[in-house]
Amino acid sequence: MKYEELRPREINQVLRECPLAYLVWGAHEWHGPQNPVGLDTLKAYHMTLELCQRTGGVVLPPVYCGYQTMKPWARFHHTFEFSKDLVLQYAFEHLENLYDEGFKAIVIVMGHYGGKHVETIKRAVELFTEKHRYVRVLAITDYEPASWVNVKGGDHGGKNETSLMMYFRPDLVDLSRIPKDGLNAQRDGCGPDAVEATRQHGEMLVKTFIEQAAPKVSALLEEAVKGWPTEISRGE
Ligand SMILES: [Zn+2]
């Protein structure tokens, strides 16, 4: 299921039975004193691994390449800011490679939510799908599927993201780092409601994500496989 751990024969089997690839997109970014800087990538990666268990397919190694991070916006350190052009090109070439390898449906799960960053990834998908007719691509933030049933997620190191981290990797969250006077968004660079984070809340967000995303992804794959011409050359 982890692409980089599979041998060629196993990948061939995936391509025959379930030609679906997930690409997780995150960043290195300050997420408050209590969270690790890889939060965006780590939680989206774990969420996607669980989703992949439900739908089949493979998960690519997560990409740490964020545009519109906390650095240019508020000078937070421990944050890597990459350019829009690089993110666009890197996403586009990932899609091209996955297509060339024979995947028919591709899902990009974004753990980093900067508005312009999301726009850039979606633009890469647009450029790619204008070029290739049959492949199906979906690019979503990791909180979007829950929003289809009005469950709100998608903060910045606040209650939601901190809870997700506590669910997947409690060893990486240290709530004792929260200042005695509470969190201040400007000073601490995260949602002040992180003080309410719990493992149970994280679990609920993950379950909602999987319940909502799995049928949508399976439908995407089915559509791609059904619509795929029998004799298509891979460069079509
Ligand atoms: Zn985040």
Instruction: Look up residue 117 and give its two tokens.
Output: 């960053």
What is the tens place of the pLDDT at every residue in 174-209?
999 999 999 999 899 999 999 999 999 999 999 999
Whole-prediction pTM: 0.95
CA 229 to ligand 1 center in whole angstroms: 40
Element (H, E) at 21: strand 20-26
CA 198 to ligand 1 center in whole angstroms: 17
Report the distance separating Cα 90 and Cα 74, nearest Å: 25
Report the distance separating Cα 142 and Cα 108, nearest Å: 9
pLDDT at position 72 is 84
Q: Tokens 């669980």, residue?
A: 50
CA 29 to ligand 1 center in whole angstroms: 7
| Pair type for strands 63-64 and 58-59 | unpaired
Domains of the chain: 3-149+210-225 (3.40.50.10310)
Least confidently predicted of 41-55, 66-80, 140-154, 182-196 = 66-80
CA 32 to ligand 1 center in whole angstroms: 10
What is the tens place of the pLDDT at every residue in 149-171?
999 989 999 999 999 999 999 99
H helix and E strand count, the chain: 9, 5
